[in-house]
Amino acid sequence: MSENPDLTNERASGTFDTNAMAAVIYGSEKFAQRRREITEAISKIPEFQDSHPLVFMSREEKISEACRKLAVLSNYWNSLIDTSDEEEALHLYREVLGLEGHPLALHETMFIPSLIAQASDEQQEKWLGRAQRREIIGCYAQTEMGHGTNLRALETTATFDISTREFILNSPTITSLKWWPGALGKSANWSIVIANLIIKEHNYGPHPFMVQLRDEKSHEPLPGITVGDIGPKMAFNGADNGFLGFKNYRIPRENMLMRHSKVTSDGSYIKPPHAKIGYSSMVKVRSRMAMDQGLFLASALVIAVRYSAVRRQGYLEDKSREVKVLDYQTQQHRLFPSIARAYAFIFCGFETIRLYDQLLIDVQNGNTSGMADLHALTSGLKSVVTYQTGEGIEQARMACGGHGYSMASYISEYYGVAIAGCTYEGENMVMLLQLARYLVKSIEMIQNGKSRELGPMVAYLAEKESEIDLNLGPNEYLKVFEYAARNQTWRATEKFQKLRNSGMSNEKAWNQASVELTRASRLHTRLYIMSTFINHVGSIVDQKVKGVLIDLLNVHVTYEVMDIGIYVQGLLSSNQMDLIRNQLYVSLETIRPNAVSLVDSFQISDMQLRSVLGRRDGNVYENLFKWAKSSPLNKTDVLPSVTQYLKPMMDKSKL
């Protein structure tokens, strides 16, 4: 079937080359090209297709389907991608396995990296190869049923038995059960387990241990191990997140991961050379999140924008044919600022990963000074990006009306997966308050006359406000954000200090100022996002691509400043606010002809998108009908529930 002419027309109105834009989105022409090649190669391998739509499957079926594909993948791995390129592997996983999780996800992203980072050379000798060859499947068990973000409170113990030179693992309470680790429930047979190291009744705090969970032949849990799946979740139902309990479960001393801390056979504890080790993997995961979330948002927008160019409802001037819903200003206002954010998050992801890579080099050279900055930044970034992504995806879904609510749109699955990011890798409120600590310290430096020592990202906190001339472009909007973030950071800090100076404890004062502090963190983070967006666009060479990105940037800066209007009352006059508001509406119209091309540029294949509504060819309705007819309830015309319960009820009434 040919392409829906409504989409053909949209594509014809685009002013730039989507391949050139894809090169910008994915960081290089080379990688954008590789993505297309991998997608093309995969499409030719029938075993990689979903057996039937994932949304029709039970959890057991989803997990089984994922395992089937993983087994197939292991045959094609080397022929499809450059296995040394993490991005290519991620793309392959996204295409074939999708986003609902799978039993090897933690093996690749946490188990192997942790072995590399935390196992000694001898330990790597023993386990790393086995893990990389997938002789064993591992996971990473840290979070407990009663303990998440606060690691100090973990309860699992690993007590050193000096007589046998073993650690005895125990879960002393119900709240100490490991809870949530991915692939732990049914798939993994080994795990890195974080437990309190106890030697001679002294608790040295949480340390990592390599623990075998299941027999390698029978896959049955070993004696002393309680393990299982934690049940269905809002999303990620293709993953077997698990629980894990220990009862006097013994492992050899050599199973404590000893790259950093060590326990000798006589029970002596040897401290790691410096304390902040392990910290950087957290920073790395959070750095990646901006990019991943940007792609989740992008996916939802691909679906919503394409569908909005096909869906017609109501009338404007022409009463003979209903209008594309994308022509309504309310629809554009729902979708286009989110397109801008998706681009912004992805660009911001690049920049943050660049900073991370730089940090790694610095740390190797013994310079850890940038660590706190980047840790604070990624904490805030993670919070703002996950929240705004969730918000944007839901607006995209609602913009699709009733069919958005059908699993045929698949948008709610994107929402479920993306919004989990508000909670995992550090709960958002806690993360915002971590950034706030850094901001308060920065203010204290200024108060103590040390403004010059401020890092580049917080230098603006010491600056005075300047006149704003909105005609001068995006950088003026940046100044508006600087004003807002600076003002709110000072306000929140002063509230905290005032409470503390009034005799309140530090903790109580902090708590009472905490809502104001989180606001400061959000504004600081949004300033960073806007600033990286502006810089990134500035660096682009292709003039057509740059032109449309400047239009998109105009949507972004005007929308974001309107959105934080309450924080800039002291700076902007009501005339200036009116000007920005009107500018936003003009920008929405300007971007309209490029809307479909802007989402096409993400080059997310139909296979990966898994959305009937978001199909590239726009043939939505025929395929929606086809999809529905093939759904499980339609295997039979008369359901057993009717025969068993409804019919007897109806028949009885007739007596």
Q: Is 330 a binder of a second copy (CB under 8 A)?
A: yes
Whether the CB-CB separation of 493 and 576 falls below 8 Å is answered with: no
Q: What is the DSSP letter of 322?
A: P
CA 263 – CA 125 distance, rounded (Å):
19
In the complex, least distance from residue 205 CB atom to a second copy, rounded to whole angstroms: 15
Q: Is 230 a binder of a second copy (CB under 8 A)?
A: yes
In the complex, least distance from residue 469 CB atom to a second copy, rounded to whole angstroms: 21
475 or 585, CB closer to a second copy? 585
One residue of 5, 205, 232, 272 binding a second copy per CB under 8 A? 232
CA 144 – CA 171 distance, rounded (Å):
10
346 or 400, CB closer to a second copy? 400
32 or 485, CB closer to a second copy? 485
What does the per-residue mask of binding to a second copy show for 567-586, with x meaning CB under 8 A? --xx---x----------x-
Largest CA-CA distance found in the chain, in angstroms, rounded: 92
One residue of 64, 120, 497, 576 binding a second copy per CB under 8 A? 64
DSSP string, 344-399: HHHHHHHHHHHHHHHHHHHHHTT--THHHHHHHHHHHHHHHHHHHHHHHHHHHHHH
Residues numbered 598 to 627 that lie near a second copy (CB under 8 A) are 621-622, 624-625, 627
One residue of 46, 507, 541, 543 binding a second copy per CB under 8 A? 507
Cβ contacts of 361-367, under 8 Å, gap ≥ 24: 363/280
One residue of 127, 140, 160, 179 binding a second copy per CB under 8 A? 179
One residue of 222, 429, 470, 550 binding a second copy per CB under 8 A? 429
What does the per-residue mask of binding to a second copy show for 449-488, with x meaning CB under 8 A? ----------------------------------------
In the complex, least distance from residue 591 CB atom to a second copy, rounded to whole angstroms: 15
CA distances from 442 to 76, 473, 493, 494 (A): 51, 29, 10, 13
Q: Is 77 a binder of a second copy (CB under 8 A)?
A: no
CA 492 – CA 436 distance, rounded (Å):
9
Please indicate if the annotation marks 143 as binding a ligand: yes
CA 611 – CA 613 distance, rounded (Å):
5
In the complex, least distance from residue 314 CB atom to a second copy, rounded to whole angstroms: 5
Backbone region of residue 503 per phi and psi (left: phi > 0; alpha: psi in -120 to 50; beta: other values): left
Binding span for a second copy by CB under 8 A among 2-10, 26-34, 38-46, 639-647: 639-647
One residue of 240, 292, 351, 600 binding a second copy per CB under 8 A? 240
What does the per-residue mask of binding to a second copy show for 290-329, with x meaning CB under 8 A? ---------------------xxxxxxx----x----xxx
Q: Is 637 a binder of a second copy (CB under 8 A)?
A: yes
In the complex, least distance from residue 31 CB atom to a second copy, rounded to whole angstroms: 29
One residue of 118, 159, 428, 442 binding a second copy per CB under 8 A? 428
Q: Is 406 a binder of a second copy (CB under 8 A)?
A: yes
In the complex, least distance from residue 281 CB atom to a second copy, rounded to whole angstroms: 19
One residue of 20, 372, 407, 470 binding a second copy per CB under 8 A? 407
270 or 646, CB closer to a second copy? 646
Q: Phi first, then psi: what are they for 192, rounded to 5°? A: -85, 125
- 634 exposure class (CB count in 10 Å sphere: 0-12, 13-18, 19+): exposed
What does the per-residue mask of binding to a second copy show for 135-174, with x meaning CB under 8 A? xxx-----x-xxxxxx--x--------------------x
Q: What is the DSSP letter of 151?
A: G
Q: What burial letters (b/e) apply to 192-231, b meaning 16+ CB within 10 Å?
A: bbbbbbbbeeeeeebbbbbbbbbeeeeeeeeeebebebbe
Q: Is 50 a binder of a second copy (CB under 8 A)?
A: no
Please indicate if the annotation marks 386 as binding a ligand: no
Q: Has 425 been annotated as catalytic?
A: yes
CA 465 – CA 109 distance, rounded (Å):
44
Query: Whose CA is closest to 608, among 98, 89, 26, 105?
Result: 98
Residues numbered 89 to 108 that lie near a second copy (CB under 8 A) are 103
Q: Is 448 a binder of a second copy (CB under 8 A)?
A: no
The single residue listed with the structure tokens 């917080």 is: 458
In the complex, least distance from residue 570 CB atom to a second copy, rounded to whole angstroms: 7
Whether the CB-CB separation of 190 and 110 falls below 8 Å is answered with: no
452 or 629, CB closer to a second copy? 629
Binding span for a second copy by CB under 8 A among 18-26, 120-128, 222-230, 286-294: 222-230
Q: Phi first, then psi: what are they for 542, rounded to 5°? A: -60, 115
Q: Is 58 a binder of a second copy (CB under 8 A)?
A: yes
Of 425, 444, 560, 622, catalytic: 425
CA 71 – CA 75 distance, rounded (Å):
7
CA distances from 403 to 69, 184, 308, 324, 329 (A): 29, 35, 11, 15, 20
DSSP string, 599-646: HHTT---HHHH--STT-TT--HHHHHHHHHHTSGGGGSSS-HHIIIII
Q: Is 437 a binder of a second copy (CB under 8 A)?
A: no
- Residue count, binding to a second copy (CB under 8 A): 128
**Cα Rg, the chain, nearest whole Å:** 27
One residue of 6, 87, 373, 427 binding a second copy per CB under 8 A? 427
Q: Which residues are annotated as a binding site for FAD?
A: 143, 182
What residues are labeled active site?
425
